[in-house]
Structure 1
């Protein structure tokens, strides 16, 4: 059984929450499948909330529309969902989103972008996609493991041995992104794979959530929480957001937890063997969906001009009326070989 908890806060210093997230769970003949995505609109750019919501909306649509046939093909061929095929589909989707968001910005005289961290969990395995500096962690047995790699100048310095991971949390280079969706001529998302074991809690979070806490703060807070205890996961997540703000965090704060408790018996939904038409992998019921929507309870359609299938976070007003704070929390991006691209 998969437990899902997600929390997001605009924080204490910003007027707009530029984070977007989703968590979806479906019961299938291959067991439960879960998708979690966290996107952080690039700080200092206009309409970061539109960029992040567009990406989250597109991945939500992909989970419900495209994953069933992709997963069914893999299960029929090998008995397992082909996670490399999932990564290929995500790479193509992110490339399309990068172009669409960039084109929208050109048409509307806006500069917008977003980070992306997404994970699909199924059959005891996961595939993780990464663009930018949101993070994915595994919490298990009182230990913590960072599954993603930050795409920032600070992370590069850590890899080169010129900075410690603790120093990187608050270094100015940590606010310089090497990639973000919507700001690149050519986007190169990173993908990784691993085991998703019973007892794990998989945590996806933005930089505003982890910066004040560090790995040890996150580890200690979740150390005694069982993966099936949604109430406890929610209480710890909410408490950490409050702790972040009390420590002076200026950014938006978002975290999503997937708790991997004991699995239930899978529901068989495949059609007869040899059927010509692809059969849906999803159960007859709608998948369980959890969305953040700090500005409105209902999804907002931004229309054909913005090109998203749908967006999950409504902006507080037109682009020129949105107030964004810059300074320590502002983020820059490096665009393919052109040097720093600063908001």
Structure 2
């Protein structure tokens, strides 16, 4: 199975700086998207640190491990890379007053034959587009999502709430953070959309699906159309979008590999 990748970020129509970051390594099948938060430039620093650190470390590990690594091994490597990035951002935030309070949301994908491992922290999202249907495959770590789950708010009420940006999990805010990771099966033609809340706050799932349906066979055209639609709806935040299309026959995952010991271990 082959994969085609695209990414784009946009400042939006209200903000003057861009705190969204993206890193893609096509050879390693790794896509990282982060939406930073914090004081002057601090959110931008946090999101860039997360994307660059996680992408570099994870791609290095995958190159050493080869395609024979099991999904369990890859998940452990994802956890370790995110934990190391979290500690680095947390340390920077506490050692430099300029960066005090900075953090970032995160959504991370590792593409493998016939499936994708998706991990996330906060309210940056991943969706799967398959045969004209859009499915959200992450669940926000946010106050609104907790209120929806508890029956306090309906999804319609949450859509107009003033508490949209209150996340319950973020990278770099505490000395430990949990990456929620799931494996999703892929079919040829599937597209995985990852985005910051600058897209999902401006467009609901129906509107995102409409753009993907009516737009464009090429990923760059589809990505540009999504960003244009978010800006047309107000563009109140930075917008980050990645699109990854699976192509070719589905393969079965390997059944076994050496026991995971430490990141980068060849033993």
Q: Is the structural similarity TM-score above 0.5? A: yes
Shorter-chain TM-score bucket reads 0.7 to 0.9
- Aligned residue number for residue 242 of structure 1: 228
- Which ranges in structure 2 are unaligned for 5 or more consecutive residues? 252-263
Name which of structure 1's ranges 49-58 and 254-263 shifts more when overlaid on structure 2.
254-263
Change (3 A) 1:242 1:225: closer
2:203 is the alignment partner of 1:202: no
CA contact (8 A) 1:206 1:254 kept: yes
2:111 is the alignment partner of 1:93: no
Partners in 2 of 1:191 and 1:153 — Cα distance?
20
Could you report, residue by residue, the CA deviation over 1:232-279 in whole angstroms, capped at 9, with x for unpaired residues?
3222221221221222131000100001122599xxxxxxxxxxxx9x
Change (3 A) 1:164 1:233: farther
Secondary structure class of the residue paired with 2:175? coil
- Aligned residue number for residue 22 of structure 1: 23
CA contact (8 A) 1:142 1:220 kept: no
- Aligned residue number for residue 316 of structure 1: none
- Which ranges in structure 1 are unaligned for 5 or more consecutive residues? 27-32, 76-80, 266-277, 281-343
CA contact (8 A) 2:58 2:81 kept: no
Name which of structure 1's ranges 206-215 and 184-193 shifts more when overlaid on structure 2.
184-193
Change (3 A) 1:45 1:130: farther
Secondary structure class of the residue paired with 1:213? coil
Give the superposition deviation at 1:141. 0.9
Could you report, residue by residue, the CA deviation over 1:51-71 in whole angstroms, capped at 9, with x for unpaired residues?
110111112212431112223
- Aligned residue number for residue 132 of structure 1: 122
Secondary structure class of the residue paired with 1:171? coil
- Aligned residue number for residue 286 of structure 1: none
Choose 1 or 2 for highest CA Rg: 1
Give the superposition deviation at 1:37. 1.1
Could you report, residue by residue, the CA deviation over 1:38-85 in whole angstroms, capped at 9, with x for unpaired residues?
10002557511111101111122124311122235xx2xxxxx31121
Moved over 3 A (4+): 43-46
CA contact (8 A) 1:52 1:113 kept: yes
CA contact (8 A) 1:2 1:263 kept: no
Aligned residues: 250
- Aligned residue number for residue 51 of structure 2: 56
**Any residues of structure 2 matched to 1:101-120 within 5 Å, and which?**
101-109=89-97, 110=99, 111-120=101-110
Partners in 2 of 1:63 and 1:256 — Cα distance?
18
Could you report, residue by residue, the CA deviation over 1:203-241 in whole angstroms, capped at 9, with x for unpaired residues?
000000111211111111112667xx4xx3222221221
- Aligned residue number for residue 307 of structure 1: none
**Any residues of structure 2 matched to 1:73-222 within 5 Å, and which?**
75=68, 81-109=69-97, 110=99, 111-222=101-212
Partners in 2 of 1:238 and 1:224 — Cα distance?
13
What TM-score results when the alignment is normalised by the length of structure 1? 0.68
Partners in 1 of 2:180 and 2:44 — Cα distance?
23
Q: CA RMSD in A?
A: 2.3
